[in-house]
């Protein structure tokens, strides 16, 4: 029997109201990400990539259509249950790291675990520092975001997304604001974590040299998601 996909969406539509006008951003998206898969979405600015990632991560709701995370339909859940499902199975890396400035790297990474209210504080610290170690920041545990470089902050954000051992990480242009060298370092890290931990990744990226290393590529175009794996991206 095949495994449940980590994410599956069906006939997904999203329309925004702009004054009297309705703007159709997503126009019937069907997509499925299997466990352990690494996929990327490319597409012009404004084509709806962030909107799609937010719907797949349960941060926003579709106008119609369904999203399933590990087989569970987001629409069938209330806000609290959706939050729990997200915390249990998904990690999110934003374009701008979204770390909390008053907390250290260790505390920022520990927060998703604390939210589960299942572990003792010593265990939270242990897992958060192990994850920071894994992204090469074992020597920066007590630094606050302002005391870290752009690449280090993004690595903390990745550690925060991974600390709960999610089935899938959704990342929205995670290297878009980094210099080429740092971006490549973060990209290699994500590919390695995919191989070592089996975590699925769905990444929005503009970086075509990175996309070349990714087995499944989709292009967002006119509200649709086209499989571009076989085409030149």
Ligand X SMILES: Nc1ncnc2c1ncn2[C@@H]1O[C@H](COP(=O)(O)OP(=O)(O)O)[C@@H](O)[C@H]1O
Which of 165, 230, 224 is closest to 44 using CA atoms? Answer: 224
* Of 112, 115, 109, the residue nearest 131 (C-alpha): 109
What strand order describes the sheet that includes 7-18? 21-33, 7-18, 64-69, 72-73
50 near Mg ion, rule: CB under 5 A? yes
**Phi and psi for 2 in degrees, rounded to 5?**
-75, 155
Q: Are 149 and 185 in contact (CB under 8 A)?
A: no
Closest distance between ligand X and the C-beta of residue 26, in Å? Answer: 8
Residue 16 found at the interface with ligand X (CB under 6 A):
yes
With CB under 5 A as the contact rule, which of the stretches 45-53, 58-66, 136-144, 216-224 interacts with Mg ion? 45-53
Question: Interface mask (CB under 5 A) for Mg ion, residues 68-107, using x and -?
Answer: ----------------------------------------
Rule CB under 6 A: say whether 96 interacts with ligand X.
Answer: no
Q: Is 199 helix (H, G, I), strand (E, B) or coil?
A: coil
Helices (H) and strands (E) in the chain, counts: 7, 10
Chain positions 21 to 80 lying near ligand X, rule: CB under 6 A, are: 25, 43, 45-51
Query: Quick one: what does residue 47 bind among ligand X, Mg ion, none, with the CB cut-off 5 to 8 Å set by partner type?
Result: ligand X
Binding site for ligand X (CB under 6 A): 16, 18, 25, 43, 45-51
Binding site for Mg ion (CB under 5 A): 50
């Amino acid at each position: 029997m095949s495994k449940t996909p980590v994410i599956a969406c069906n006939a997904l539509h999203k329309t925004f109201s702009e004054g009297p006008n309705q703007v159709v951003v997503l126009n019937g998206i069907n997509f499925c990400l299997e466990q352990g898969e690494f996929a990327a979405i490319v597409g012009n600015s404004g084509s709806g990539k962030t909107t799609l990632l937010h719907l797949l991560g349960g941060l926003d709701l579709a106008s119609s259509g369904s999203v399933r995370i590990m087989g569970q339909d987001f629409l069938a859940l209330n806000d609290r249950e959706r939050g729990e499902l997200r915390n249990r199975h998904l990690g999110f890396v934003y374009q701008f790291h979204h770390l909390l400035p008053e907390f250290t790297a260790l505390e920022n990474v520990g927060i998703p675990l604390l939210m589960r209210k299942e572990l003792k504080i010593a265990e939270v610290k242990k897992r958060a520092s192990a994850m920071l170690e894994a992204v090469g920041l074992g020597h920066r545990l007590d630094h606050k975001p302002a005391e870290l470089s752009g690449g280090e902050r993004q690595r903390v954000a990745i550690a925060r997304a991974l600390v709960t051992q999610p089935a899938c990480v959704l990342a929205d242009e995670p290297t878009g604001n980094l210099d080429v060298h740092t971006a490549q370092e973060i990209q290699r890290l994500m590919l390695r974590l995919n191989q070592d931990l089996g975590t699925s990744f769905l990444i929005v990226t503009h970086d075509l040299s990175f996309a070349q290393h990714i087995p499944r590529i989709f292009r967002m175009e006119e509200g649709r998601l086209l499989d571009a794996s076989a085409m030149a991206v």
